[in-house]
Structure 1
Amino acid sequence: MFDLFALSSLIIFVLVFVFVAFIFTFIPVGLWISALAAGVRVGIMTLVGMRLRRVVPIRIVGPLIKAEKAGIQPGVNKLEAHYLAGGNVDRVIDALIAAERANIPLPFERAAAIDLAGRNVLEAVQMSVNPKVIETPSIAAVAKDGIEVKVKARVTVRANIERLVGGAGEETIIARVGEGIVTTVGSAVSHKAVLENPDLISHTVLEKGLDAGTAYEILSIDIADVDVGRNIGATLQTDQAEADKEIAQAKAEERRAMAVAREQEMKAAVQEMRAKVVEAEAEVPKALAQALREGKLGVMDYFNMKNIVADTEMRESISKGSSNDKTKDLTKKS
């Protein structure tokens, strides 16, 4: 009987212990006590509801205590809604505290929207107090005299809380400053003017309002370094002359090829004519024989024709000989 009573007492004790452990695990009593000690009123059922909604209570109560101590009252429901939306509640509260200390107007809704947009709202508030310096890469521009100028600039920016949601980032600032530098250097008559007055670049670029539509406000643009680069104008002229030379050579080669083709055509035509002459000369004896047989040409006519041909050949040989003798006499006299 005693063993049965002891066993029942042990079972009841274990069940009570398990129940109490479950209650203290599911219901964050310790967190509720901490909030109560800090002067933050959070109902025990509110904490239980957070458990049911799969919200980690410490992620809400901790920032809530911090906000209450700083004099900010965002409300439990707003913090919980921001947490369920995937936001960083602790960072938003830190940003609100920093903005309140720096006298920067920043409502909770705007801070939550900035955080949900993927931007670091605490870093934005800190940048509003302590501006950031963005250094541009070396930007090459060409003045009107054809000389390349390489410029590096430092852009001091401050975060614009009003335009953080939907505003462009640092890459846009760097691109716009580079565009302004290229435009300013390109409008300079000589690169010497840029070297003498580098502040002309910063003044001209600042007047363009490059921070429009961005999440930052440009405070100043300082020229860090100015170097002289290549003579782009001379390089372009050299390249143009080389291109013109290649074009002229190509056209000359084209004309030479056409002349060679015409010469080949002339030679082919001459050879064709010679072949026809030879063919015609081969027909002459046949024609003479045919004329003799038919009586159209007499024997005496034939011999007279031969004498004429022989006389013509003799005259041609005499004329060639006399011209050669004259050439020899001229050579001897010279």
Structure 2
Amino acid sequence: MYGFELFWVVIIVLAVIFLGVLLTFVPVMLWISALAAGVRLSIFTLIGMRLRRVIPSRVVNPLIKAHKAGLQVTINQLESHYLAGGNVDRVVNALIAAHRANIELTFERCAAIDLAGRDVLEAVQMSVNPKVIETPFIAGVAMDGIEMKAKARITVRANIERLVGGAGEETIVARVGEGVVSTIGSSDNHKKVLENPDLISQTVLSKGLDAGTAFEILSIDIADVDIGKNIGAELQTEQAEADKKIAQAKAEERRAMAVAQEQEMKAKVEEMRAKVVEAEATVPMAMADALRSGNMGVMDYMNLQNITADTEMRGSIGKMTNENKNTNDK
């Protein structure tokens, strides 16, 4: 009797374990939820998902959501998108949002946008509710040399047709910044920019900056315009300083050349003096030879000495006369 009761206990335990494993592998409750929502789904389809390493809830719950929203989406489409690495729930939410907003969006395009790394739900929401992108201060210099700093607000709407392969917000901001700089640079006077800042937005908006991007620019508004530095005056000052340094360098070069020429002249004078001293040193020897050879007599020598003494006396008298004249003038 005891063995018979033990046998039934073991059978019940095994049955409970088998039922638990079965319910874990086969999502019966999920299948019941799908049937209750009006989605016809075979239990073997859920088992096949388990075998294909697909989490059934990640596919069935979005399918129920899409069915309730009136979308024609199949289980195979959602499962294939899941296996491709996409976000099934986000794709279904985007399709529902597009359907509610009367935006034409197919499942294939929505899945392609999701697989491309774009947030397709955000894109649909941006199509309904445009986004405002605020740029940092963009500096430009007018023709009169005054720097202007402008901040723009760009209102964009997502272009679903160009989400795959289209450029992002950074490209929009860069293009608008380039347009603002070129518009300010083409202005004759910075006062015109201050008086009519809408000229910047009109000029930039007319250039079609949203070409090749994932957005459509609705408007460009100049939020703030500030005056920066006087770049023209700074450039002129720097140019004047550079010209001054160049002139100083040239003057220093001329001075150095003059000093070199002066040193060269002094060297030549010293050389000539040395030659004169050398020549004077040979005079006594020449006179001695003349006396020995009889070409000069004693009286001739005495007359030469008298002439030399007379010349020196006249030079001393002239020097004293000049000194006395200078003293009287003072």
Same fold (TM over 0.5): yes
Whichever residue aligns with residue 108 of structure 1, its letter is F
- 1:166 match: 165
CA change 1:89–1:315 in 2 (3 A) is same
Check if 1:263 corresponds to 2:248.
no
Moved more, 105-114 or 315-324: 315-324
Whichever residue aligns with residue 86 of structure 1, its letter is G
- TM alignment of 1:188-199, pairs within 5 A: 188-199=187-198
Structure 1 stretches lacking a partner, 5+ long: none
- 1:295 match: 293
- 2:73 alignment partner, SS class: coil
- 1:95 match: 94
CA change 1:284–1:77 in 2 (3 A) is farther
Separation in 2, partners of 1:116, 1:296: 129
- 1:224 match: 223
Task: Percent identity, please.
Answer: 71
CA change 1:281–1:124 in 2 (3 A) is same
Q: 1:147 touches 1:231 (CA, 8 Å); kept in 2?
A: yes
Q: 1:168 touches 1:215 (CA, 8 Å); kept in 2?
A: yes
- TM alignment of 1:62-211, pairs within 5 A: 62-211=61-210
Cα deviation, residue 292, structure 1 = 5.6
Moved more, 257-266 or 178-187: 257-266
- 2:46 alignment partner, SS class: helix
TM score, norm. by length of structure 1: 0.89
Cα deviation, residue 7, structure 1 = 3.9
- 1:254 match: 253
Separation in 1, partners of 2:294, 2:37: 150
CA change 1:314–1:112 in 2 (3 A) is same
TM score, norm. by length of structure 2: 0.90
- 1:220 alignment partner, SS class: strand
Structure 2 stretches lacking a partner, 5+ long: none
Cα deviation, residue 148, structure 1 = 2.2
Cα deviation, residue 90, structure 1 = 0.3
Q: 1:141 touches 1:148 (CA, 8 Å); kept in 2?
A: yes
Cα deviation, residue 325, structure 1 = 4.1
Whichever residue aligns with residue 103 of structure 2, its letter is I
Whichever residue aligns with residue 200 of structure 1, its letter is L
Whichever residue aligns with residue 209 of structure 2, its letter is L
CA change 1:288–1:47 in 2 (3 A) is farther
- 1:73 alignment partner, SS class: coil
Separation in 1, partners of 2:235, 2:79: 65
- TM alignment of 1:236-255, pairs within 5 A: 236-255=235-254
Q: 1:63 touches 1:90 (CA, 8 Å); kept in 2?
A: yes
